[in-house]
Structure 1
Amino acid sequence: MKTLADLLLLGDPRLYEACAPVTEAELPLVAGWVADLDNVMNEVRAKYHFGRGIAAPQLGVMKRLVYLNLDRPMVLLNPVLTECSAAQFEVWDDCMCFPNLLVKVRRHVTVTVRYHDEHWQPQVWTVHDAVAELLQHECDHLNGVLCTMRALDQHSYRWRP
């Protein structure tokens, strides 16, 4: 079982790599990956008091897998943002890979994501506001993009109080 000690931190070159798709043949591996993601997210929540989602590459699993736990656990395999609203908003983003740093970014207010669930069933989900921001953040991880790379300007960083 992976723990907080396995979480990749800012500067690890793997965080800047694009991930490979999860294949249907890899479905037997997904439950183990999700258990690790859930465990680490719970450790982050206990230590830092935040965490709604985590992407597989944050634990060095270079696969297109996002795990969310909002009101219930959700597994998104090979998520693709298919529609993004023209309307955007600014938000102080945080990341488990640099838990004490906040970065001001601009995100779409509404996004639609297509993905496969853990049973390999295709799904479509449209979300708004905070969940839309979260999904954009996690999908960025799958493409090797960190919120530090989306900072509005050189003054868009602050230490978590």
Structure 2
Amino acid sequence: MFDLITYPNDILKQKTKDVKKVDKDIRKIVNEMKKIMKRNNGVGLAANQIGLDISIFIAESGNKILTFINPKILKFEGEKVLLEEGCLSLPNIWGKIKRYPKVEVEYLDLFGKKKKIKAQGFLAQIIQHEIDHLNGILFAEKAEKLYKIEEIDKQEALNK
């Protein structure tokens, strides 16, 4: 039904539009997003990464996949920390990027109910990464350093 979009593709650079109504069609899209994320060994996926101009992302948290519709970050907490990130839309590219350790987010769930979550650690990182996607920003644009997977493999081999 949908395929993973990789860079360069204009939809990845565009701000997405809010979902007007959360209905069964939206729930079908989210189910498809979950399959695509799992198939590609991801921990998060934004709707524009599968070619849809709507403000939805999913994020893995423990053994659950959370759905965020029309998410808005209400608050950032703590000092930014330098973290490592990759992206399904930028295959084989990793980088170092500064993210806040805690965020508070308001969003709609799969039934259109308004919710809030306070996230920290890896989930906070995923949320910031995916909201960047919804705003048309790729992590590579904010990264302090980028490298290809092959470079990591080479370094690991040298360190053994």
Q: If the length of structure 2 is used for normalisation, what is the TM-score?
A: 0.88
Find the residue that maps to 2:54 and give its secondary structure. coil
Partner of 1:14: 11
Match of 1:69 among 56, 60, 67: 60
Find the residue that maps to 2:111 and give its secondary structure. coil
Find the residue that maps to 1:93 and give its secondary structure. strand
Deviates more, 1:84-93 or 1:110-119: 84-93
Runs of 4+ in 1 over 6 A off after TM superposition: none
Percent identical among aligned pairs is 23
Partner of 2:112: 120
Whether 1:136 and 2:128 are equivalent positions in the alignment is yes
Residue 28 of structure 1 deviates from its aligned partner by: 2.5
Q: Write the distance in 1 (CA, Å) between the matches of 2:18 and 2:115.
A: 16
Runs (5+) with no aligned partner, structure 2: 154-160
CA RMSD of aligned residues (A): 1.2
Partner of 2:97: 105
Q: If the length of structure 1 is used for normalisation, what is the TM-score?
A: 0.88
Match of 1:157 among 142, 146, 155: 146
1:77-96 correspondence runs (5 A): 77-96=69-88
- CA contact under 8 A between 2:59 and 2:126: conserved in structure 1? no
Q: Write the distance in 1 (CA, Å) between the matches of 2:34 and 2:120.
A: 23
Partner of 2:23: 27
Residue 86 of structure 1 deviates from its aligned partner by: 4.0
